[in-house]
């Protein structure tokens, strides 16, 4: 699996687990307006956080439209329930899991 080969650089604030992902996972809590730098494959990318978000949570790498699949580790972790803008917090308020849903 892609995750197994991932390395973490010193002082890195966030990580993208797979090049196909549309979310980035935070390795520390960040504040609104902070500019994050990270690597996707060999490319250095930046993203501006649109809100304060806690350690371990995710931000959208680009705009994710309602109904789109959200990818982490290169795999589906659910679908967007609203349109999520680049740099916004991606969590249970705008992501819904599609498995284990006996209520649907």
Partner 1 sequence: MTMIKGYRRPDGKVGIRNHLLLLPTVVCANQVVNRIQQQVPGSVAIPHQHGCSQVGDDKERTHKVLVGMGKNPNVGAVLVVSLGCEVMNAEQIRDEIAETGKPVIWIDIQDEGGSVNTIKKGTEIAKELEQKIASIPYENISLSELIVGVKCGGSDATSGLCSNPALGRTSDMIIDKGGSIVMGETTEIIGAEHILAEKAVNEEVTKKLYDSIAKFETEIERMGVDMRGSNPSPGNIEGGLSSIEEKSLGCISKAGTAPLQGVVDFASEIPGKGFYFMDSPGNDIECVTGMAAAGIQLVCFTTGRGTPTGNPIVPVIKISGNEVMAKRMADNIDVDTSPVLQGKESLQQAGERIFKEIVSVASGELTKAEILGHQEFSISRIGISL
Residue numbers of the site for partner 1 (CB under 8 A)?
1, 3-4, 6-12, 15, 17, 25-27, 54-58, 72-73, 75-78, 90-92, 95-104
Nearer to partner 1, 45 or 54 (CB): 54
Rounded Cα distance between 45 and 15, Å, is: 11
Rounded Cα distance between 9 and 7, Å, is: 7
User: Are the C-beta atoms of residues 24 and 38 closer than 8 Å to each other?
Assistant: yes
Partnered with residue 14 across adjacent β-strands are: 26
Q: 18 CB contacts (<8 Å, ≥6 apart)?
A: 2, 3, 71, 72, 73, 74, 75
> What is the smallest separation between the CB atom of 58 and partner 1, expressed in angstroms?
7
Nearer to partner 1, 8 or 65 (CB): 8
Nearer to partner 1, 15 or 49 (CB): 15
> What is the smallest separation between the CB atom of 46 and partner 1, expressed in angstroms?
19
> What is the smallest separation between the CB atom of 72 and partner 1, expressed in angstroms?
6
């Amino acid at each position: 699996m892609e995750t197994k080969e991932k390395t973490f650089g010193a002082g890195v604030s966030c990580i993208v687990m797979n090049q196909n992902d549309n979310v980035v996972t935070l390795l520390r809590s960040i504040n609104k307006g902070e500019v994050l730098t990270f690597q996707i494959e060999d490319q250095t990318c930046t993203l501006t956080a649109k809100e304060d978000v806690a350690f371990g949570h995710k931000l959208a790498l680009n705009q994710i439209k309602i109904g789109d699949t959200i990818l982490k580790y290169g795999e589906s972790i659910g679908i967007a329930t609203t349109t999520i803008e680049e740099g916004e917090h991606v969590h249970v308020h705008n992501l819904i899991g599609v498995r284990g849903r006996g209520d649907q």
